[in-house]
Amino acid sequence: MSYLDKLLEGVEVEWRTVDDLIKEKAILNISAPKKLTKNKYNEIGEFPIIDQGQNYIIGYTDDNDAILEKDLYVIFGDHTEIIKYVDFAFAQGADGIKILLSDNRKLITRYLYHCLMCFYIKTGKYTRHFSVLKQTLIPIPPLNVQAEIVRILDTFTELTAELTAELTAELTARKKQYEYYRDRLLSFEEGEVEWKSLGEVIYSLKTGLNPRQNFQLNTNDAQGYYITVREIQNGQIVFLDKTDRVNDRALELINNRSNLDAGDILFSGTGTVGRTAVIKSKPLNWNIKEGVYVIKPNPKEINSCYLSYLLNSNEIVKEYSKKIVGSPVISLPMSELKKLLIPIPPLNVQAEIVRILDTFTELTAELTAELTAELTARKKQYEYYRDRLLSFPSLSEL
């Protein structure tokens, strides 16, 4: 018999809803404290401000009236980790619920945290309303069993966090190494190569089309994809679940302006400026919005992949960033992008640079996949033990 089986063998468990626990005074109250307004945020205050997401400390404050004592804190939001266990005084920066347990020693706060995490991750139900939280069923074994479950799950949580930090550091180091070699390969001494403006080595610089009076997004007959900056990721065009769709007529209208073809480069000129992707084959089922530029290189002057790498190099990014305008939505005018001076080595040199950087890119992608798989395996291991430890007989089985 395994240790887990021995731990849980014959354990008597009560099932209570959160509402029952409130009535029995095991939970003193659940409340939705007023969130702190952004004009009270600063970077050097005494108390952290809690918000949604993985990096959930978003600022600091000295506003004593907004400070909450440490307790279990449930944050609303469409995030995998929507429940935060906060063991320090804090201010609230997002909509959320704070749970205050009594000291009657019926329920360990950290145990309740793991139960809620398990419930919401497995069911996908978010605590947007008090009614959802109040009706959540909590299994309540003896305190010594709760404490041991907490010890085991906290150990896995800590190991997962350590592994995440190590893998993230490793990936960051490799990406920096790649950027170092990329920038070295794309740096040329004065007089070593010819420099030309972007406009001199391309056939055209165009953009896509916004709906406005031209077409509608997501119509019943929409089968094509409408590419924005969001879909340009790591040098690739990625179709997402949230990607808007367009019909054939819209694709034709957009392409009358963009004229996409294989070998062209997409460049995000508005919003998040500077994302690039080389089009590998002529697009048949997608096109781009206005603000995503399409650069059509002259292959007798410049290699498409070389130009794409060049547009991501630190020196070139620094140069075109000086020309960015607008607030709050920023953009790089096409007229300014055309004036951008870039190094033009012989085509055979460009091809060799591309070969080397493609190899580095491939190695980085493989490493990312390996590290992600390792982290996924450890998280699944944690989830397995969490589910085993919190799988008590249901009410119907008692």
- pLDDT of 330-360, one tens digit each? 999 999 999 999 999 999 999 999 999 999 8
Please report the DSSP string for 142-156 in residue order.
-HHHHHHHHHHHHHH
Give Dmax over CA atoms of the chain in angstroms: 84
**Kind plus residue range of the DSSP H or E element containing 115:** helix 109-123
Tell me the one-letter amino acid at 58: I
pLDDT for 68 beyond 80: no
Measured at the CA of 181, the angle between CA 344 and CA 264, to 5 degrees, comes to 45
pLDDT by residue (tens digit) across 7-24?
A: 666 678 888 888 888 888
Q: What is the pLDDT of residue 122?
A: 64
Residue listed under structure tokens 């279990």: 72
pTM for the structure as a whole: 0.68
Q: What is the pLDDT of residue 21?
A: 87
Give 3-state DSSP helix, strand, coil % of the chain, rounded to 5.
Answer: 40, 20, 35
pLDDT for 78 beyond 70: no
Q: What is the pLDDT of residue 75?
A: 57
For residue 139, which of 20, 1, 2 has the smallest C-alpha distance?
Answer: 20
Tell me the one-letter amino acid at 124: G
Domains, the chain, with CATH or none: 14-141 (3.90.220.20), 142-193+345-398 (no CATH), 194-341 (3.90.220.20)
Nearby residues of 107 by Cβ (< 8 Å), 6 or more positions away? 21, 26, 27, 101, 138, 140, 146
pLDDT by residue (tens digit) across 126-159?
A: 555 677 778 888 888 988 888 998 898 888 888 8
Rg of the chain on CA atoms, in Å: 28
